[in-house]
Chain A
Amino acid sequence: MADRLLFSKAGTARYISHLDLMRTFQRAFARAGISIKHTEGFHPHPFVSIPLPLSVGFSSQCEVLEFGLTGGAEREEVPARLNAAMPSGITVHRCYEAEKPVKQLTYVNYIVTMEYDPGAPFGAERAIRDLLARESLVMDKRSKKAKSGVVQVDLIPLIAKATVEERRDTIALDLVLRAQNPGLNPELVVAAIRTHCPQAAPDFVSFHRRAVLDGKMEPWE
């Protein structure tokens, strides 16, 4: 069975893209003197996989990376050794044996913080709540596969839970979204707000991934 790391991505590291992050981990393992499984073939390279890529700019406290530990360190030592070899903003919390297969990764919990320079507009919270309570909410989504470059997605079946909370000049959305097949990026939820509730359109939005969950809403590990 594979080994997994639980790590967070914050600060400047939020802007490291998915591919660059995998390269960063490959190098960090080498720097830490931890040997991991290599790919086979003509150009063998250290194998790492991140099952649920995080959009550039998002922060997260629950990122998971899969790899195969082959030597150089015991599992318990891995977090400390890696943390000494990481760029700023990436912190490894735990190294453990994978329990649940990737296909059981079902939901992701995001905190979306929408900021309003002049304070949250009156009625915005209500409007957003009503929007997310609709029977159906269809949005255009860019797609590489579709010929037109756009597909239509109904957001509602992909939103498992949504809590809207207003705090002075921000509105926070606590969302539990489908993780995969298909998954929903919370940016699309914000895009829906901009489209359907223009009075509630924020000036700036930040996205934070708080938890990855299985089909029973238990932590996926």
Chain B
Amino acid sequence: MTEPLLSIERVSHEFGARRALLPGRRTHLAVDDVSLTIGAGESVALVGESGSGKTTLGRVVAKLITPTAGRVLVDGRDVGALSGRELLAYRRTVQMIFQNTQHAFNPRRRIRDILADPYEIHGLPAPDGRDAALGELLERVGLHASMLDRYPHQFSGGQRQRVGIARALSLGPRLIVADEPVSALDVSVQAQVLNLFARLRRELGLSLLFISHDLRAVYFLCERIAVLYQGRLVEVAPRERLLEHPLHPYSRRLIAAVPGLGERDSAEVSQAEAPGPAPAPGVAAESPAAAAGCHYASRCPLYARLGAPERCRAERPALRPAAGGSAVACHFATEGEEPGANVSSVVSEEVG
């Protein structure tokens, strides 16, 4: 087995941890003991609802924040202590693309200046001159060299996201962290940007950590899908496996929620909804009972059906390997367990 490009080892991040001594200050465990690897050229998705910690984990990988516990390895090297030249080298290996295209660019700087930044900071070579290099960069993401002198607000959302991709690509990274790169765009424009990602992956052999709540986009782009729920990884599986045989009850619920998949007013789905909205972030992590046991138990239909087994309350489920390359963090989920079959039958009738 070759070394993975990226390994995340038991990473946790707690917001407000440094100030925990101040009275009345709440800390919030955004990422809770997550381990995950990405191979060279592989594309892995991080899915979950808002507050699941997926963005925080992405920012940890992009070294925008330093996790409060655990470490991140790239090519087997711990990246936690990098600084100076080594940090710059890391920036050339791992890049990030942001969700909000409106705020991802300084409104007072022309695209030319924005794209020139990486060249200036890293002293990248531009054999035919900087202008030619920048123009080529724009062409590569489907824009025109003539747009270099525009300001960010003169682009549409989709075009701005292309500029964001161009900025990341200029450094020739091997891994790109993409934080909800299409969710703020129109569906028709989403398809264009997703195509661009797919093309770049094929042409450049990029690895991708694709953060999204949109299972359709994720399925199109990523071979493996990791499901986060309130900071913990609940399931990691190859995409077909996750879609057709989701093991964790929460994964099942996510899949049932994809629009255009379920039958309307489907009884099975309504049931999954019954436990109500998610508790406020921070609450679950702090209650000792949840910290000890499974944090999904209070909303879990399987837990309810099994008659509230003691184990779910007492013991935190570890991520354990399952059939077909999946891994699931649930004491009781098994493939034979029914609602999975129910969902997959709906799914296999191709819709949309």
Note whether A and B form a binding pair: no
Residue numbers of A with Cβ under 8 A of B are none
